[in-house]
Amino acid sequence: MIQWIQCPRLPSPSAGVAAGVPSGVRPRSRLLSVALSVALCLPAAAFPLTPAAAADPAATPLELVRNAKRIVVLGDSITYGGRWVALFSAWLESQGITAEVIDVGLSSETVSGLSEEGHANGTFPRPDLAERLDRVLRVTRPDLVIACYGMNCGIYLPLDEERFAKFRAGMERLHAAVGKAGAAIIHLTPPIYDKRPGQPGPAKDADYDAVLDAYSKWLLSRRADGWVVIDVHGPMKEMLATARARDPEAVFAPDAVHPNDEGSWAVARAVLAGLGDTKTAAAEQPDAFVSLLPEVTQRLELLRDAYLSAAGHLRPGVRPGLPIGEAEAKARALSESIRSRRLHLMGRRFGKSPEWKSPAEWPQPPVVDPGPAPAAPAAVPSDAIVLFDGTSLDQWSNGENWKVADGIATVGKGEIQTKQGFGDCQLHIEFRTAADTTGRGQQRSNSGVFLMGKYELQILDSYQDGTDAPVTYFDGQCGAIYKQQPPAVNACRKPGEWQSYDVLFKRPRFHADGSLAAPGRISVLHNGVAIHVDTVLKGNTFFHAPPGYTAHADALPLSLQDHGNPVQFRSIWIRPFEPLVPREKRD
């Protein structure tokens, strides 16, 4: 049986004063009315309050986070701004924790229901979480809520028992509502108020950090009642004192309220310490996952705007979001991009080297004997575009700077690029490393085939007889998608013997807005042996950065690399590939 919820009466635009909105202010009144009607008047089954798994009252904060499928973060502008939430979300991704994080913080909001006279120049009072909380829980359906309130709740006035009581009552309501929804909640004590000479902030002469101290101590006391509380205020205060001991001008919140990058990392460090990751929390910078932040932030903002709009609220000036379904689809694509490159994004540079090194540990590709080298080049299909037939490099830009003799092209000065662009294709290329190869690692007859000038299939002397040690890192050896994926096996021939790549390449696809629609894919036979089968390209094959996509044309030149070694080529041809498309048969 469907159980319908009685629709409450919503304030009309002219009923602003009665609704708690100043007369004449219409905060998205018509849009809000529609949003509230949809959220509140659907049957209960449309937005079930019970999450997939009930909260375990004995679980640790880390267990709550690990067990959650959806984490909803509530708070004021410090949370809406999202910097500390993005750092927390990036940490989750670095740990392989795949909970969906939805930031529904709302600027100016309180749990106390208080608003100072003349707030926002008298245009609107501070929003009260109680006005939207039930809708937020119904629309977001969290397993876990993380709540960070307090900064606005004392409305920047000295500590006062009446205002303090309203804060406590608001937190009690929040805690009870989340529990009734079947979710767990982690409370965070409020960040610090960074008052200093020349910047009193909105509290002016009041000792507002004493207010936040009192709020924090009360929240921490609720641990005795079974509340899960992580202390942000105390550790953040200690971190600022440490920073100012080094630099008296150190600042965590330029306007005393809203944390900058350093202050946001301090909030996140306190949260991570509360979750038990003291090693990461001790770091001065979030180097371990900083490369995850751009896409994590983009995903957070998509979901934040969508869910804030869907749940509705009374604060004017908030950017509207996409419909939830559309936002979720875009968020899933971002999650796939992040998670497919997680280890690569967690890499870093060491010392003065520009090289980007990921923490991925690859097994050694097994050695396979591909058989004897062919005496002559492979036959060329009748529809192939011949890029090099042993006579000239006229099809290539800069080809005049490579030596062509006796049917062989030898790497010269600078890379060469085809004059024609290609996308989806079949590519055949024959090469050989120098018989007298010297050097170590990446200096052993290094070159590379760059599909579309961006996606490198490595050429290197990586020959092994099965008893000797590998000569370089596995995702940089011959046949590797450089810095992304080693070959499944090592099918190299000896230096000085002819080798071949047969490549099937499907270019990446991009949406009109430049976002990735589908990643590139590649299959490769090395000397007739499969080393990649429908391998997904994670983006450009950079040396100095993690892989990543940027939108580009559907057809771009193929390039061959000059790495300072005399690698040779004798036969190169390509077949642009386009599948047949059926037509409707008509009588």
The tens digit of pLDDT for each residue in 129-166 reads: 999 999 999 999 999 999 999 999 999 999 999 999 99
Q: Inform me whether the pLDDT recorded for 38 exceeds 70.
A: no
**3-class secondary-structure state, position 382:** coil
Picking from 487, 499, 504, 486, the residue whose alpha carbon sits closest to that of residue 567 is 499
Average pLDDT over residues 361-383: 96
Return the structure tokens found at 583.
Answer: 């037509």
Give the count of beta carbons closer than 10 Å to the beta carbon of residue 199: 12
pLDDT digits (tens, 9 = 90+) for 87-131: 999 999 999 999 999 999 999 999 999 999 999 999 999 999 999
Instruction: Please state, in angstroms and rounded to a whole number, the distance separating the CA atoms of residues 78 and 83.
Output: 8
What letter would DSSP give residue 226? Answer: T
Average pLDDT over residues 530-545: 97
Q: Inform me whether the pLDDT recorded for 76 exceeds 50.
A: yes
Domain annotation for the chain: domains and CATH numbers: 47-340 (3.40.50.1110), 366-576 (2.60.120.560)
Q: How does residue 468 score in pLDDT terms, banded at 50, 70 and 90? A: confident
Average pLDDT over residues 67-77: 98
Q: How does residue 436 score in pLDDT terms, banded at 50, 70 and 90? A: confident
Q: Inform me whether the pLDDT recorded for 467 exceeds 80.
A: no
**3-class secondary-structure state, position 397:** strand
Instruction: Please state, in angstroms and rounded to a whole number, the distance separating the CA atoms of residues 181 and 54.
Output: 10
Instruction: Please state, in angstroms and rounded to a whole number, the distance separating the CA atoms of residues 517 and 539.
Output: 13
pLDDT digits (tens, 9 = 90+) for 297-332: 999 999 999 999 999 999 999 999 999 999 999 999
Q: Inform me whether the pLDDT recorded for 4 exceeds 60.
A: no
Return the structure tokens found at 161.
Answer: 């028992």
pLDDT digits (tens, 9 = 90+) for 227-283: 999 999 999 999 999 999 999 999 999 999 999 999 999 999 999 999 999 999 999
Instruction: Please state, in angstroms and rounded to a whole number, the distance separating the CA atoms of residues 70 and 101.
Output: 6
pLDDT digits (tens, 9 = 90+) for 164-173: 999 999 999 9
Q: What is the pLDDT of residue 73?
A: 98
Q: What is the pLDDT of residue 55?
A: 57
Q: What is the pLDDT of residue 54?
A: 52
The phi, psi pair for 529, rounded to 5°, reads: -105, 130
Give the count of beta carbons closer than 10 Å to the beta carbon of residue 577: 15
pLDDT digits (tens, 9 = 90+) for 453-462: 999 999 999 9
The string of DSSP codes covering 547-583 is -------S-EEEEE---SS--EEEEEEEEE-------
Please name the helix (run of DSSP H) or strand (run of DSSP E) that holds residue 188, with its range, or none.
Answer: strand 184-188
444 CB-side CA count, 13 A: 22
Average pLDDT over residues 181-209: 97
Phi-psi region of 73 (alpha: psi -120 to 50; beta: other; left: phi over 0): beta
Please provide the average confidence, as pLDDT, over all residues in the chain: 91
Instruction: Please state, in angstroms and rounded to a whole number, the distance separating the CA atoms of residues 283 and 198.
Output: 30
Q: What is the pLDDT of residue 63?
A: 97
Q: Strand pairing partners for 29?
A: none
Q: How does residue 27 score in pLDDT terms, banded at 50, 70 and 90? A: very low
Q: In percent, how much of the chain has pLDDT > 70?
A: 90
Return the structure tokens found at 351.
Answer: 């010392």
Strand pairing category for 144-148 and 184-188: parallel
Contact between 286 and 265 (Cβ < 8 Å): yes
Query: Which single residue is written with the structure tokens 């004997």?
Result: 369
Q: Inform me whether the pLDDT recorded for 31 exceeds 80.
A: no
Q: Inform me whether the pLDDT recorded for 32 exceeds 70.
A: no
Q: What is the pLDDT of residue 58?
A: 77
Q: What is the pLDDT of residue 465?
A: 77
Name the CA dihedral angle for 134, 137, 140, 146, rounded to a multiple of 10 degrees.
130
